[in-house]
Chains A and B, each alone.
Chain A
C-alpha cells in the first residue's frame, strides 16, 4: 500500500515550540493575583493526627488561606477504589500524605508558614512488608476493610497437579523487584483558577489524564463535571506518573482557589515529587515450572504479591495485567496463577510505563533461562519449542486468531541481528581476565490497550476551516510520546493534507471528547482509529458536496496533496477553495469520530476469557560486560525487535525504543527507591540513580510490521513494550557472563560482589 503521510518519519509537529522554549509548561502559567501554595507533609509514615494548630501560620504576613482535611468536601477519591485521602484526616497512612496546604502571596511566605504549623502526632507502628500485611489478623491499614488485601486475581487452566506429574524437570524460583520512580524531568505542577468563564474551577498543569483529573476534582469538590475544566499544558514527561498524584494536587489547589477567590499555583520540588508521587509496584514472585526432558512446558504455578502501599490507586488493574502475562508468551496446558495486591504503610504504587508487566517478565524470562540451563538446552531453542504462533491458546484460554502472531519473527530477527547463538556459546566458555562478556534475551507478548479493565473507546473532533486548514480536538493527550504528530499524519493521510495544515489543540475538557486516559499504549491504536473515523466522515461529506456540485461520482473523487481530483484523475480544485465554497453552501465541516474497540471478555473467578483484542510481540537482546572484581556492569548493546503492526512514524517508533530500552536498563542495573520503615531514603536524583547518556549502550532497533486488521493503517502499540524486556535480558546476559543468577532487581555492583542488596525495598530493617 502506498502512503503519503503515514508510514513516514515526519518531523514532530510540536518540536519547534519545544526547542525554542515557547512551549508553556504547568509551572510557567501565571495569572493576576496568583497565590503560591505549599503542602505540609506528615512527619511519620503511620501516625494518628491528634491536633493541628494553624494559629501561628495564619498570622504570618502574606498568608491568605490554609486548608486541612476539614476543608475538603469529599476527602476520598480514586479511579477504581475511592480510598485515597486528599489530605490526611485522622491518620497519615504513608510518608507522602499531606496534612495541610498553605496559599500565600509569595512562595517564601508559604514555605515559612508551613514551618509554623504545629501538628501533634501519635506515632503508630505500621506495616511495611506486603507479606506481613497479608497475614491473617494483622492490623488493618483501611479499617473499613476486612483484610489488607486490595485485590486477588486467580487464573486457572487445565490441571496443575497433572501437569507437574507429567513433567520430568521441575524448578522453583523466587524473584523480587523494587519500587521505581517514573523520573519525569518536570515535577508535578498545577494552577487552579476560580470562576473562569462558566467553570467553577479551571485547572492548568502537567496533567497526564485530564478526564481522570476532572473526575477526581469534581468528586472532591462535590461539583458537577461540567463545571470543572481541565486544560493540559505541555508535559515534561509522565510515564504513567501524573495521574492520581496530580489529581490530588489539583483538588488541593482548587479548594484553596475557591476559598481565596484567587488563582493558586501548586508546584512540587523534586524531593516533594519523589516523596508524594506513587511508584511502580515492588513484586515478590514465586514461580514453579515443569517441563519434559525435551523442553515441552507442562505446568506453571505462579504467585505474585504486589505492594500497593497506602492506597488502592491502580493496583487492581496493574496486577490484572500481570495475571494475563505472567506465564509469558508460552503455550502451557496447565496453569495456576495468583496475583495479589496488599496495603502497607509504604508509599502508594500506581501506573508506570509497563504497568505490571516488567516485574513478571523479569521473573518468567529469567526462569526460562534457568530452565534451559537445567535441561542443558540453549535458551532460544527452549523458547522456540513453546512460544505462541497463530491460533495458539493463551494461559487465559484465548485463541490468537485475529492477527499475525509474530513472536517467532521478532525472536529470530533479534537473534540473528545480534549474533546471539555464536556469542552465547562463546561467552559461556571460561573467559580470561576480570571482565566477562555475556549475552541474554527476553521475549514478551503484550495486550494492547485497556483490555477488560474498562470500556475502551475514544473520540476525535475535526474542524475544517474555510481556508482548508484543520483543527483537531482529541481526548487523548500528548505526553511527550509523539501523539500529536501521529494523529496529524493519520488525518492528513485521509484528507490529503500536509500535517502542517492540521493543528492539534491541547486537551481541554471543555471541548475534547472524553476518551478515557492516555495509558496502556492505547492512543495510536484506539485514538488513531477515532481520527480515521472522523477524517473519513469529513471526507465523505466533501465527496458528496463535490459529486453534487461538479457532476462527479463519489467513487472517482480523490483527496491528495491538498487538492481534489475527479474522474480520470483530473484536478477539480484545491481543498482550501472547496472548504470556503462548502462553508458558504452550509455544508457541515466539523466531524466527529468515535471508535469503540472490539469485544473482549473476562471471567474474574477463573481468569479465563479474551482479555485483549490484539497483542504486540517483542524480543530484546542484551550484551554486557561484567567486571567480576568491582561488580560494575557495562551494557554494551541492546538489540530490540518489536512488532508494531504498522509504524505510522518510524522515527517516533525508534525514539520510543531508545527511551524504553534506557528505562529498562535503569530498571535492570541501577534504579531502586529505597525505603526503611516507610521512610524514603533517596528523595532526589543524587541518590536515586537513573542512567546517564554515558550509560547508554549501542541500541539497534528492529521495527517489525504485521499490520493488524483492527489498527489504524494496521498500527498497534510501542510505548510500553520497549521497557518491559530490558531487565530480564540483562539478567540473562549477566548470568551468561559471570555464571551468576541474580533474582532480585536491580542487578547492581553489590549483588554481583556480595549477592545482596543494601536494603530491600519495602523490607524491614
Chain B
C-alpha cells in the first residue's frame, strides 16, 4: 500500500536544530510510542497530517513546544479486514479511503465523504484520525462513521479503551480524549445485511469547502426487505455530528418504498440545532436539512 514518490523520500528530514529547547518525537512503533507517552511529562502536541493543526496555529507554530509526530507509525496506517469488522488505522488518509475498492464496496458513504474532503493535496495528507480528533461539527467523515456504528480504539500509557464513535464527540471541537491518549484505530462492524446508503454534502463551492450542511444515511434491510436498522446523521447543523434517533425509529421495520419521507424530513429538520455562521444561516440549514433528507431517502428508494 505504501507508495512514496521519490521527491517525498528525498526531502530533508526535520533536523534537531529546529527544536533545540524542545522535543520532537517520531516513534516508529507502538511500543516506542507508549514509552514516549509514559516517559515524557510535559505537554505533547500530536501531529498526524497537520492539515488542521498547522492552520489552527498559523503564524504561532513556535508556541507549540513538544511534538509527537505519528507519521512513521506504519501500524497506524493499516486497513485490516476481518469477517465481522474492518479496522482502519487512525493514520489512514482521505486519499486512501477514497481510492480503495473495498471501502467503496463496504462503506460507500464513508468512501464518498472522503472523496469530498478538501482537495487532492488535503486528502493526501489529512487523516481519518485527525478528522475525528479535531471533532469539528463539519468534519466530513464523522456522519459516515456514526451511521456505520464505528468504534474508536484509544490507547494511552495506562492501556486502552474502546468507545462508540457516537459517544466520542461532546461539543464543537470537543471530545472525550484525555491528555496522553491517542486514537489508534477505527473499528467498523460488518453484518451480513444489505446496506443502502446516501451521502450529501452541501457547500458554497465545488472543492476546498467546509460543509454548510451534510447528511449520511444508512439503512440495513432484513431478508424480507424490511428496514432492520436505520441511521441518519447530519453534519454542520449542531454542536456535534448529530444522529437523528427519532427519525431512525420512525422508519424501523418499514418497507423501504413505504417510508413516510415527509415525516422523517420534518423530524430531522426539527431535531437539529443549527447556528448562523459564515457557512450558512440557521434558517437556511433547517430548510436544506429538510430538502436533503427527502432527497437522500428518495435516492435509497431507487437503489
Q: Which residues of A contact B (CB under 8 A)?
A: 108, 269, 434, 629-632, 634, 670, 674, 681-682, 686-687, 689, 691-695, 748-750, 753-754, 758
Contacts and interface: CB of A to CB of B under 8 A. Distances in A.
Nearest to A696: B206
Contacts of A691: 205
Contacts of A670: 204-205
Contacts of A749: 202, 204, 212, 280, 284, 288
A681 B209 CA distance: 17
A689 B204 contact: yes
Contacts of A695: 205-207
A630 B284 CA distance: 9
B228 interface: no
Contacts of B204: 670, 689, 748-749
Contacts of A631: 202, 284, 288
A694 B278 contact: no
Given A692-B119, A754-B287, 10 more contacts: A629-B288, A630-B291, A631-B284, A674-B278, A689-B205, A694-B206, A694-B207, A750-B280, A754-B281, A754-B283
- 6 closest residue pairs by CB, A with B: A629-B291, A694-B207, A694-B206, A630-B202, A692-B207, A695-B206
Among B55, B207, B278, chain A packs the most CB atoms within 10 A around the CB of B278
A692 B281 contact: no
B120 to A, nearest CB: 11
A52 B25 CA distance: 44
Contacts of B276: 758
A689 B288 contact: no
Interface string B60-82: 00100000000000000000000
Nearest to A752: B284
A758 B295 contact: no
A632 B202 contact: yes
Contacts of A694: 205-207
A418 B283 CA distance: 37
B278 A750 contact: no
A434 B200 CA distance: 14
Interface string B192-222: 0000000010101111111010000000000
Nearest to A693: B207
A750 B281 contact: yes
A753 B284 contact: yes
A520 to B, nearest CB: 31
A434 B295 CA distance: 9
Interface size class of B (residues with CB under 8 A): 20 to 34
15 contacts: A434-B291, A434-B295, A629-B288, A630-B292, A632-B202, A670-B205, A674-B278, A689-B209, A748-B204, A749-B204, A749-B284, A749-B288, A750-B284, A753-B288, A754-B287
Contacts of A630: 200, 202, 288, 291-292
Nearest to B200: A630
A434 B59 CA distance: 44
Contacts of B278: 674, 681-682, 687, 758
A169 to B, nearest CB: 35
Interface of B: 55, 59, 62, 119, 200, 202, 204-210, 212, 276, 278, 280-281, 283-284, 287-288, 291-292, 294-295
A589 B211 CA distance: 63
A748 B288 CA distance: 14
Given A434-B295, A694-B207, A754 B284 contact: yes
A630 B291 CA distance: 7
A269 B288 contact: no
Contacts of A758: 276, 278, 280-281
Contacts of B208: 692
Contacts of B288: 629-631, 749, 753
Contacts of B280: 749-750, 758
A460 B59 CA distance: 44
A682 B200 CA distance: 26
Nearest to A748: B204
B190 to A, nearest CB: 32
B229 to A, nearest CB: 27
B206 A692 contact: yes
Nearest to A111: B59
Contact of B205 (A629, A682, A692, A753): A692
A681 B279 CA distance: 12
Contact of A629 (B209, B281, B283, B292): B292
B51 to A, nearest CB: 12
A438 to B, nearest CB: 18
B20 to A, nearest CB: 15
A112 to B, nearest CB: 11
Contacts of A750: 280-281, 284
B55 A629 contact: no
Contacts of A269: 59
B162 to A, nearest CB: 34
B238 to A, nearest CB: 18
A753 B287 contact: yes
Among B204, B283, B288, B295, chain A packs the most CB atoms within 10 A around the CB of B204
Contact of A686 (B55, B59, B207, B294): B55
Contacts of B287: 753-754
B57 to A, nearest CB: 14
A625 to B, nearest CB: 12
A363 B259 CA distance: 46
A94 B17 CA distance: 43
B284 A629 contact: no
A269 B202 CA distance: 30
A632 B59 CA distance: 34
Nearest to B213: A630
Contacts of A681: 278
A434 B290 CA distance: 14
Among A674, A687, A753, chain B packs the most CB atoms within 10 A around the CB of A753
A108 B283 CA distance: 44
A670 B204 CA distance: 7
Nearest to A757: B281
A686 B56 CA distance: 12
Nearest to B291: A629
A694 B204 CA distance: 12
Nearest to B295: A629
Contacts of B200: 630
B94 to A, nearest CB: 16
A342 to B, nearest CB: 27
A749 B209 CA distance: 13
Contacts of B55: 686
A265 B284 CA distance: 46
A758 B212 CA distance: 13
Contacts of A632: 202
A634 B276 CA distance: 24
A264 to B, nearest CB: 20
B35 to A, nearest CB: 34
A749 B288 CA distance: 10
Nearest to A684: B58
Nearest to A750: B284
A275 to B, nearest CB: 14
A692 B287 CA distance: 27
Contacts of A753: 284, 287-288
B217 to A, nearest CB: 15
B268 to A, nearest CB: 14
Contacts of B295: 434, 629
A410 to B, nearest CB: 29
A694 B119 CA distance: 10
B34 to A, nearest CB: 36
Contacts of B294: 629
B289 to A, nearest CB: 10
Nearest to B277: A758
Nearest to A751: B284
A682 B280 CA distance: 14
B272 to A, nearest CB: 15
A670 B278 CA distance: 12
Nearest to A688: B278
